[in-house]
Amino acid sequence: MCGCCDKNMQIAGAVMVMAVMAASSFLLTSAACITSESWWPMLAMAFTVMAPMPILCCGRMRFGNDRTWMDDDDTAGNDVLWFLSAALGTSGVLMPLVLAHNRIVSIRSIWMSMLGSWTAAATVSVFVIMLVRGKG
């Protein structure tokens, strides 16, 4: 096989692993919603999925398609993008703890919701890493 086929197989394998991770995180979050009889755990999933959006969207708007957010000399703009992404990611991963502390969700569902949030965070991280490597 040629080097091109090997690279395509690696990408296909990574996409399949990300699909399984995303499906399992959604399944765990849905199960947490069912056991707690509320849809509040889905908010954690939404925050986790929205975490890389400031960097991906605003970075592209600020620099165009030929440059990336890593090439800029203006560190204040980059710091704001990283702060927004970190705030959304942290809120998404730790939201189940806040919901359990306020007794909105049951203790049974907190573990499923946290595991779903961590799996979604890992999926989003793998996606961003693949996106950055693809540009390099």
Contact criterion met (CB below 8 Å) for 89 and 118: no
Amino acid 60: pLDDT: 58
Q: What is the pLDDT of residues 18-72, one digit of tens each?
A: 899 999 999 999 999 999 888 988 998 899 888 888 877 776 555 555 555 455 5
> What pTM was estimated for this model as a whole?
0.73
Please tell me the total count of domains within the chain.
1
Amino acid 26: pLDDT: 92
Amino acid 107: pLDDT: 85
Alpha helices for the chain (secondary structure H): 3-36, 41-50, 53, 59-63, 75-101, 107-135
Amino acid 136: pLDDT: 46
Domain enclosing residue 9, as ranges: 3-135
Q: What is the pLDDT of residues 64-111, one digit of tens each?
A: 555 554 555 567 777 888 899 899 989 988 888 898 899 888 888 888
Strand, helix or coil at 106? Answer: coil
CA angle 57, 58, 60 (to 5 degrees): 70
**Which two tokens mark 23?**
């499906």
Amino acid 28: pLDDT: 92
